[in-house]
């Protein structure tokens, strides 16, 4: 059950990350340094799964 909860949470975070990417697209076009988004990607694709 713990694995299901962790997987569901990552699913929600991934969807929020996609929405943030769309919202922050102008920031990505101006600057490559968006630390908050980098932190989310590290969490989603880190080896701690």
The total domain count for the chain is: 1
In the predicted model, what is the mean pLDDT of the chain? 79
Q: Which residues contact 27 (CB under 8 A, 6 or more apart)?
A: 34
Q: What pLDDT, on a 0 to 100 scale, did the predictor assign at position 11? A: 92
Domain that holds residue 20: 2-45
Contact in structure between 49 and 11 (CB atoms under 8 Å): no
For 8-26, how does the pLDDT look when each residue is reduced to its tens digit (9 = 90+)? Answer: 998 998 898 888 888 877 7
Q: What pLDDT, on a 0 to 100 scale, did the predictor assign at position 48? A: 62
Q: What pLDDT, on a 0 to 100 scale, did the predictor assign at position 28? A: 66
Confidence of residue 43 (pLDDT cuts 50, 70, 90): confident
């Amino acid at each position: 059950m713990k694995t299901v909860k962790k997987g569901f949470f990552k699913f929600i975070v991934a969807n929020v990350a996609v929405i943030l990417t769309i919202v922050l697209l102008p920031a990505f076009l101006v600057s490559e340094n968006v630390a908050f988004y980098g932190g989310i990607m590290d969490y989603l694709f880190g080896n701690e799964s």
